[in-house]
Structure 1
Amino acid sequence: MAEFDYDLFVIGAGSGGVRASRVSAAYGAKVAVAEEYKVGGTCVIRGCVPKKMLVYGSHFAEDLHDAARYGWTLGETSFDWPTLRDNVQDDVARLEGLYTNTLDNNKVEIFRERATVSGPNEITLASGRTVTAKTILIATGAWPVVPDVPGAEHGITSNEVFHLETFPKRVVIAGAGYIANEFAGIFHALGSKVTVVNRSDQILRGYDEQIRDRLFQISTAKGIEFLFNVQFDNIEKKADGALTIHFKDHESLDADVLLFAIGRNPHSKGLGLETAGVELDEKGAIKVGDDNRTNIPSIYAVGDVTNRVQLTPVAIREGQAFADTVFGNKPHVVDYDCIPSAVFSNPPMAGVGLTERQAREQYGAVKIFTSDFRPMRNVLAGKAERSLYKLIVHAETDVVLGIHMISPDAPEILQAAAIAVKAKLTKAQFDDTVALHPSMAEELVLMK
């Protein structure tokens, strides 16, 4: 008889857990995965995928307005939230089915229930059943933070925002990171009065200052209100369901929805990790080495629960590296250098490599090249909104250290440009590349 029930037991069927499961099974391992909610994880079920669909839906508001300048007569238009909401959820269900099929096709056994670690090689399921595994992988992701203030239970997080019964006329968003700015753009475009409340004095900390300042200017011009250096006191729910939000240092606000977007903590609480002796940091993140192994030799972790880089493609890479290393006899580690990222705000931001501040701190003198222009589409539509592209270049070697953009389709353009930054190409090589005209992407090779 086998020493263990499974070669690998994965807790969490999100992007990292699914990749690790199917690849390990393909290598011949006997694999099981436990998921207490839906197969697909945060990104597919209640994160970047449904959010991007809402972004697409919100863009029609401006597109329909601009259509008249392009010769279209559309007549009266209206927006129906339940139609968008339900169509998005239908596609989420479709994707969950595809992820489930992937696991089934690779003969991965799925337990649709909560699982906790009860020993270095033991897992206890919510049903009470106990199973053993030679290797355990934790891939439970992260969870939205809710502030500890009276009445916080009346607010929602990004987990619930996709399921609103009715579309809110007034939305208050707590936080100023990427989730906050993305939903600010979505709700505003679809017709809500949006107020973004932040306890500090800046948005999108960690992104290039010049690019994030441009987003702030554009968002303000659109009508999104920002309150800085403001802290919550309590939230009061009225008889009609509306909210009155009280602050410590600002007058109160009335809202139909309060969305908390103040960060995400590793989802490690209640997993029994302390029982097995797994080390966590002060935020609850599972401590791992470059090989994704914890201090317990049989237990590994990948994705947001490790709080290294909270991005879906990174979790997938970590899941792949784990499977290759542990079951595929192809050991390797993830390279975290030059990871591209995007904010699907309106307009979107995208960046890769060092920001100007980071480059100056690391190298001293750097060269900065920018292109500040009005996209052709905006010109004909009569819109003043301008795009901004930025290249940070090493003063001595001419190597492009970073690219940062805010513009329609910036994320689509940046993916290819990120290859150039990763390959350490020079500004001269950008200049030597013939421009693709007319396009917004050509600005990357025309900066002088």
Structure 2
Amino acid sequence: MTFDYDLFVIGGGSGGVRAARVASGDHGAKVALAEEYRMGGTCVIRGCVPKKLMVFASEYGEMAQDAQVYGWDMDVKGFDWSRFHDGLVKELDRLEGAYRNTLKNAGVETFNQRATVVDAHTVALADGSTFTAKHILIAVGGRPFVPEFEGSDLAITSNEVFHMEDLPKKALIVGGGYIASEFACILNGLGVETHQYYRGSQILRGFDDECRNHIASHMQAHGVQIRCGTDIVKLNKQGGRILATATDGTTEEFDVVMYATGRVPNTDALGLAGAGVKLGLKGEVIVDDYSQTSVPSIFAVGDVTDRIALTPVAIREGHAFADTVFGGMKRTADWDLVPSAVFTQPEFGTVGLSEEDAAAQCPIEVYTTAFRPMQTLFAGRQDRVFMKLVVSAQTRVVLGCHIVAPHAGEMIQLAGIAVKMGATKEDFDRTVAVHPSISEELVTLRKPVRTA
């Protein structure tokens, strides 16, 4: 059978673009890609990139205050959202253009419209045209989930927060995961009175408990009003504001209510079930280690599979798929010991097991340190860095490394290499410290604070 394309990719995010580029540019396949919104996907257009730029913007207020202590004559008049937002839009436009050029230079044909699956080898575009492909790759990512309740339509999500015309004076973030906590810190840093409601007992569930507590305490000390064990019952329009009624019966008005209570795969009305592709309970595409679905010609990578919802993981999955199917190199992505960063303030970098998870597997030693870093200590701040190593008592292998500190994301990338290589505590101990630095504490921890 002759096909129009060797590969048709649905979704122009990081995973889909990498797969298309490698399949076409490196392996010579005839490739098409359809994206219904903007090229670059969640990360570039409405996720990692604009969020990180907002993180940077939110940190300059304290930096400017500290600069005065360091001798700089400065007059900080406040934050101009419109000026920042104009620059943000231009940067996202530039990045989208770069993604489009990457695909064009690799010889990938692109369609700026929605595509759905008709059968194992056919896709249909929104304009009614259809194409056949030997292989189809689903890389449509996920979207924020807002539960249905009275007034839920008044809430925004992380998708809309980047498009606010004005910066609110008072905001409520609902949720306790990394997205909710990051945006609570961002808005707080930009001068917004920020409240965070979370129905659980502590924010950042799933991460190391000691680190969660440290971050929450720091956030509260810097002005974020966190209320755990609290959820929203209803939202009502109150003039130009939103009245939020909480589960404890209290009510409070906000300018903006943002929900960050999880994400779901973007598989609605995509035609997958009709084509025979098995989906999970949340709508995620079920795949094997080679990203192949229950239909041999259809594959899926990235957040739509609900494996590890991180951009670098989606990129690895897309690359491995292209090498396997078109490059004659049968390989998978590696989902073990993936480092990650949470861009709260303070920043949180983590790789490996939390203390709780490690203790459930084997006897461990725990090494920690907490201290006031030199830069903010000089400025008179009470901020404290926290670091932790979780070590197997039997093998001495470092099972987990957790850093709560400025630039923790940068540090955990390098620590992640050591942990990935199976470094032992003694390997850390043999490494000479870089002084004076925050990261030197990772190699000067000598005595465990506890065992489990």
TM range, normalised to the smaller chain? over 0.9
Q: Is the 8 A contact 1:230 1:250 kept in 2?
A: no
In the alignment, does 2:202 pair up with 1:238? no
What is the CA-CA distance between 1:77 and the residue it aligns to? 2.0
Aligned-pair RMSD on alpha carbons? 0.9
What is the CA-CA distance between 1:153 and the residue it aligns to? 1.1
2:80 and 2:259 map into 1 onto residues whose CA distance is: 24
Q: Is the 8 A contact 1:279 1:295 kept in 2?
A: yes
Secondary structure of 1:160's aligned partner: helix
What is the CA-CA distance between 1:232 and the residue it aligns to? 1.7
Secondary structure of 1:98's aligned partner: helix
1:426 and 1:316 map into 2 onto residues whose CA distance is: 29
1:76 and 1:115 map into 2 onto residues whose CA distance is: 49
What is the CA-CA distance between 1:247 and the residue it aligns to? 2.1
Q: Is the 8 A contact 2:193 2:224 kept in 1?
A: yes
AA in 1 matched with 2:176:
A
In the alignment, does 2:102 pair up with 1:105? no
Partner of 1:215: 215
What is the CA-CA distance between 1:49 and the residue it aligns to? 0.5
AA in 2 matched with 1:438:
P
2:313 and 2:234 map into 1 onto residues whose CA distance is: 37
Partner of 2:449: none
Q: Is the 8 A contact 1:31 1:108 kept in 2?
A: yes
User: 1:68-104, CA deviations, whole angstroms, 9 ceiling, x for partnerless residues?
Assistant: 2101111242210011111111101100000000000
Partner of 2:265: 266
What is the CA-CA distance between 1:228 and the residue it aligns to? 1.7
Partner of 1:157: 157
2:278 and 2:127 map into 1 onto residues whose CA distance is: 27
What is the CA-CA distance between 1:183 and the residue it aligns to? 0.5
Secondary structure of 1:212's aligned partner: helix
1:125 and 1:388 map into 2 onto residues whose CA distance is: 51
2:124 and 2:210 map into 1 onto residues whose CA distance is: 50
User: 1:308-352, CA deviations, whole angstroms, 9 ceiling, x for partnerless residues?
Assistant: 000000000000000000000011011111000110001100100
2:442 and 2:159 map into 1 onto residues whose CA distance is: 37
AA in 1 matched with 2:441:
E
Partner of 1:309: 308
1:343 and 1:33 map into 2 onto residues whose CA distance is: 31
What is the CA-CA distance between 1:304 and the residue it aligns to? 0.2
1:380 and 1:267 map into 2 onto residues whose CA distance is: 48
Secondary structure of 1:273's aligned partner: coil
> Structure 1 residues 286, 69: CA separation in 2 closer, same or farther (over 3 Å shift)?
same
2:368 and 2:199 map into 1 onto residues whose CA distance is: 31
What is the CA-CA distance between 1:441 and the residue it aligns to? 1.1
Partner of 1:300: 299
Q: Is the 8 A contact 1:200 1:229 kept in 2?
A: yes
Q: For structure 1, which segment, 246-255 or 335-344, has the greater mean C-alpha deviation from structure 2 after superposition? A: 246-255
2:212 and 2:236 map into 1 onto residues whose CA distance is: 33
Q: Is the 8 A contact 1:348 1:406 kept in 2?
A: yes
Secondary structure of 1:370's aligned partner: strand
Partner of 1:338: 337
Secondary structure of 2:324's aligned partner: helix
Q: Is the 8 A contact 1:198 1:230 kept in 2?
A: yes
Unmatched 5+ stretches in structure 1: none
Q: Is the 8 A contact 2:45 2:92 kept in 1?
A: yes
In the alignment, does 2:278 pair up with 1:279? yes
Secondary structure of 1:50's aligned partner: helix
AA in 1 matched with 2:297:
S
Q: Is the 8 A contact 1:303 1:318 kept in 2?
A: yes
Q: Is the 8 A contact 1:390 1:404 kept in 2?
A: yes
Partner of 1:352: 351
Please show how residues 163-182 of structure 1 align to structure 2 within 5 Å. Answer: 163-182=163-182
1:45 and 1:317 map into 2 onto residues whose CA distance is: 20
Partner of 1:393: 391
Specify which of 351, 367, 379 is matched with residue 365 of structure 2.
367
User: 1:355-403, CA deviations, whole angstroms, 9 ceiling, x for partnerless residues?
Assistant: 100110011x201111111110011010011000000011011111110
2:227 and 2:219 map into 1 onto residues whose CA distance is: 13
Partner of 1:416: 414
2:223 and 2:100 map into 1 onto residues whose CA distance is: 42
AA in 1 matched with 2:41:
G
Partner of 2:427: 429
Secondary structure of 1:100's aligned partner: helix
Identity of aligned residues (%): 49
Unmatched 5+ stretches in structure 2: 447-452
Q: Is the 8 A contact 1:137 1:300 kept in 2?
A: yes
1:183 and 1:86 map into 2 onto residues whose CA distance is: 19
User: 1:249-303, CA deviations, whole angstroms, 9 ceiling, x for partnerless residues?
Assistant: 2301110010110011111111011110110010000000011000001100000
In the alignment, does 2:83 pair up with 1:89? no
1:198 and 1:89 map into 2 onto residues whose CA distance is: 31
1:391 and 1:102 map into 2 onto residues whose CA distance is: 40
2:349 and 2:390 map into 1 onto residues whose CA distance is: 14
